[in-house]
Structure 1
Amino acid sequence: MENTKSQKKSYSTASSKSRARRKTKTDYYDYSLVAVIVLLTCFGLIMLYSTSSYMAQINYGSDMYFFKKQAIISVACIIMALIISRINYRILNRFSTALYVAALVLMALVKTPLGQSSHGAQRWLNLGPVQFQPAELAKIAIIVCLPYMIVHMGKKVRTLKGCMVLAVVGGGLALAAYVFTDNLSTAIIIFCITAGLIFVAHPDIKIFIIIAGVVIALAVIGVIFLNATVSVDGSGSFRLRRIMVWLHPEEYADSWGYQTIQALYAIGSGGFFGRGLGNSIQKLGSVPEAQNDMIFSIICEELGIFGGLIVLMLYAYLLYRLFVIAQNAPDMFGSLMVSGIFIHIALQVILNIAVVVNLMPNTGVTLPFISYGGTSIVFLMAEMGLALSVARQIKFEE
C-alpha cells in the first residue's frame, strides 16, 4: 500500500512538472512570415524597376530613380521590422491613447502650411527632412487603440453601448482622415478595421450579418440610381465621376476612364504566361503612374495571369501566417492587434486588385509591399514588426 501511494505521489509530481513544462515559453520566431515579407518586397522591387524604368529615364534621367529610393527604404524598413519584433508588444498599452491623439494632430496639421500637395491632393505633411502621409499612422493607431479598449472593456464589449463607443472611436479617426487629408480610401479602411475588430470581439454575429446585408443593399440601390439618373460632365464631383467611369469605362476611355481602360488592356494582352519580364507595352506611358496603384496590371501583362496568381498566393500565405499568430497569441490584446493587421492587409490587397480589374471604382489604394511609396512601406513594415513581436510570445506545448 505504501509503495502504491508513493508511486501515485511520484506520478502526480511528474505530471505537474510535465504541465509546467508545457506552459513554459519556447524560443519561437516566425521565420515563415519573415520569408514571405522578404519575398514580396524583393518581387515588388523587381516589378517596380521593370514598370518604372522607362518613364524614370525620360522624366528624371535615370532608369533606377524609383528603384533606388524604394530599395533603400525597403532594406531599412525590414531591419526596422526585425528590431520592433524584439520589443515586447505589450509596451504599446501605455502609448495607445498617445498614438491615437498623435494621429489626429498630425492629420490636422495637413490643413496648415506644413501640408504638402501631390497629384492634386493635399495629404502629405512636410516636417523638414521628413515627408509622410499621417493617414498611414492613423491605421496603426486604430490597430493598437481598439484592441487596448476592447481588453479593458471586458464583457461590456458585448453591449450595444460598448460597441457604439468603439464605433465612435474608430469612426472619429476615419472621419478625421477624410476631413483633414481628403482621403476617402484611408477613411474606409480605418472604418472597416474598426468594424472587423468589433466583429472579432463580439460573440453575436447575427447583428453584423444584418447590418452588412443592409449596407450592401443600400449600395446596390445607390449604384442603380446613379446609373439611371446621373451623367458625368466636367462640373461633377470627382468621386461621382469615378463611380460613373467604373460603370461605363468605355464611354470615358479618352478622359477619366483612360487609366482603367489601359490597365484592362495590359491584363488582357498578357494572356496566361505574359509577354515576359520587362516586355510590357502599356508601361511606356499608356498606364499613367503605373508604378503606383496600377502596378498589378503590369505584373499581369509581363507575367500573365499565372504571375498574378503567384502574387495572390504569396498574399494568401502572408495572411495565413498572421491568422496563425492571431489564433495562438498569448493574450487578447496581441490576438486582436494581429487581427487588425490581418484585416488591413487583406483590405488593401482586395481593394487594389478590385480597382485594377474594374470590379469597383478607383480608390487610390496601393498594393502592399509592391507599389511604389515610402510612407506605405514604413508603416506596413512596422505592422509586420508588431506581428512578429506577438509571435515571439507564443507558448507551445512540448
Structure 2
Amino acid sequence: MSKRQGAKREKPIKYFDYSLLFIIIFLVCFGLVMLYSTSSYNGEVKFGDAAFYLKKQLFATVLGLIAMGMIANIDYHVWMRFGKAAYLLALALCVSVIFIGTTVNGSKRWLRLGPLSFQPSDFAKLCVIIFLATMISRMPKQMGKFSTVIRVVVMVLPLVAVVAINNLSTAIIILGIAVALVFVASPKYLQFFLMGGLGVGFGAAFIMFESYRAERLKIWLHPEDYDKGYQTLQGLYAIGSGGLFGKGLGESMQKLGFVPEAQNDMIFSIICEELGLFGAICVILLFLLMIWRFMVIANNAPDLYGALIVVGVMAHVAIQVILNIAVVTNTIPNTGITLPFISYGGTSILFLLSEMGLALSVSRGIKLEA
C-alpha cells in the first residue's frame, strides 16, 4: 500500500497558467473599454455611430479568443511541421501587398479579401516565431557558432526587407523577435554587438532610402517646427493634463479631434489623460506581469522548442509596448506602432491572441512534481 502511495506522489501534475490567461482577459476587456472611450467621438463624426470602432474590434476579438482557445488545446509540437510553409506564406502575402495592397491613411499595408481586409505583417510576426523556433530547436549545439547565428538571422532578412518597404516599424519588431530568439539559444553574447551594429546599419539605410523617414527624425527633435509634429505635441498635452489620477474615464478633451486617430497608436496618451499617471503605471505593470508569466513558462517549458515559442511571443509584446510608449512620450521618432490589446486593429488583436494561445499551449505541456 505504501509503495502505491509513493508511486502516486511521483506522478507529475499537469499545469496550466491561469495567471497568464487572467491577465490576457483583463487586458482585452480594458482595451475594449478604452477603445470605446477613445474612439466614440471619431466614430460619431465619421460614421454616425459612436460604437463603430468598438463593434469591429469586438468582432476581431471574439475571433481571436476562439483562435486562442483552439490553439491552447493543440499540442504546440504540431506547428513544427508548418514552420517553413508558414514563413513562405507570410513572405508571399507581404510581397503581394507591394503590388495589390490597399492604401489606408496614406499607408499601403492591407490586403483585401472581399469585404474583409487584413495586414499580412501581423501574420508575419506569428509565422517568424514558429519558423525560427523550429529552425533553432533542430540545431541547438550549433548556435554557439557565429556563422550559424548569422545564417539564422539571414533567413528572416528577406521578410524583414519586404515588410520594411511599407512598414519599417513592423520590420524592426520582426528583426527584434529574431535577435531575441537567437540570443536565448546562443551561449555567446559578444556576437550580438556585431549583430546590433548590423541592425543599426540596416535601419539607417532604410531611413535614408525614403525622405519621409528622415523627416520624422527632424520632427522628433523639433515637433513644434513642423505641421506633422502636431499629433506628437497634442499627445504630450494629453499626458501632461492627466495629472496623477486623470480627468476620469471618457472625459478626455484631446480625443475630440485634437489627437488625430487617437484610437490607434496614440491611445496611451488618452489613457494618461483620463486615468492619469496612476492608470498609466497600472497598464505598464500589467504588461510587466504578462512578461513575467512568459518568463516562468519559458523557464519551465518541456523542451527548447516550447521555450523559444514563448520567448518569441514575449519579445513581440515587449518590443511593441516599449516602442509604442516611447513614441507617445516622444522618446523616439514616430513609428506608427500600436499598443498591444488596447489600440484599434482587428488583424493585430486576432494574431496577438493566437500567439497567446501558443504560449498557453506550451504551459499545458509543463508537468510539476507532486
In structure 2, which of residues 170, 173, 184 is the aligned counterpart of residue 189 of structure 1?
173
In structure 2, which of residues 46, 65, 69 is the aligned counterpart of residue 82 of structure 1?
69
Hey, what's the Cα distance between the residues in 2 that align with 1:322 and 1:389?
Answer: 12
Name the aligned partner's letter for residue 363 of structure 1. T
Q: Is 1:131 paired with 2:113?
A: no
Bigger mean CA deviation after superposition, 295-304 or 122-131: 122-131
* Percent identity of equivalent pairs: 49
Matches for 1:218-297 after TM superposition, within 5 Å = 237-252=211-226, 255-297=227-269
Q: Which residue of 1 aligns with 2:354?
A: 382
Bigger mean CA deviation after superposition, 62-71 or 294-303: 62-71
Query: How many residues were matched structurally?
Result: 367
SS of alignment partner, residue 123 of structure 1: strand
Q: How many angstroms does 1:266 deviate by?
A: 0.3
Query: Which consecutive residues of structure 2, in runs of 5 or more, have no partner in the other structure?
Result: none
> Aligned in 2, Cα 1:361/1:76: closer, same or farther, shift over 3 Å?
same
Hey, what's the Cα distance between the residues in 2 that align with 1:155 and 1:28?
Answer: 29
Deviation beyond 3 Å, 4+ runs, structure 1: 209-212, 214-219
Q: Which residue of 1 aligns with 2:52?
A: 65
Hey, what's the Cα distance between the residues in 2 that align with 1:362 and 1:60?
Answer: 27
Q: Which residue of 1 aligns with 2:17?
A: 30
> Aligned in 2, Cα 1:141/1:295: closer, same or farther, shift over 3 Å?
same
Q: Is 1:373 paired with 2:345?
A: yes
In structure 2, which of residues 179, 188, 207 is the aligned counterpart of residue 204 of structure 1?
188
Q: How many angstroms does 1:112 deviate by?
A: 2.9
> Aligned in 2, Cα 1:305/1:133: closer, same or farther, shift over 3 Å?
same
Larger Cα-atom Rg: 1
Matches for 1:314-393 after TM superposition, within 5 Å = 314-393=286-365
SS of alignment partner, residue 13 of structure 2: coil
Contact between 2:36 and 2:53, CA under 8 Å: does it hold in 1?
A: yes
TM-score by length of 1: 0.87
Hey, what's the Cα distance between the residues in 1 that align with 2:244 and 2:198?
Answer: 36
Q: Which residue of 2 aligns with 1:5?
A: none
Name the aligned partner's letter for residue 155 of structure 1. K
Q: How many angstroms does 1:317 deviate by?
A: 0.7
Hey, what's the Cα distance between the residues in 1 that align with 2:125 and 2:289?
Answer: 22
CA displacement 1:230-273 (0-9 Å, x = unmatched): 9xxxxx81111111111111222xx1100000000000011111
TM-score by length of 2: 0.94
Name the aligned partner's letter for residue 233 of structure 2. I
Name the aligned partner's letter for residue 207 of structure 1. Q
Bigger mean CA deviation after superposition, 182-191 or 123-132: 123-132
Q: Is 1:42 paired with 2:29?
A: yes
Q: Is 1:310 paired with 2:282?
A: yes
Hey, what's the Cα distance between the residues in 1 that align with 2:140 and 2:279?
Answer: 45
Bigger mean CA deviation after superposition, 256-265 or 124-133: 124-133
Q: Which residue of 1 aligns with 2:368?
A: 396
Q: How many angstroms does 1:110 deviate by?
A: 1.1
Query: Which consecutive residues of structure 1, in runs of 5 or more, have no partner in the other structure?
Result: 1-9, 231-235
Q: Is 1:150 paired with 2:136?
A: yes
Matches for 1:91-102 after TM superposition, within 5 Å = 91-102=78-89
SS of alignment partner, residue 274 of structure 1: coil
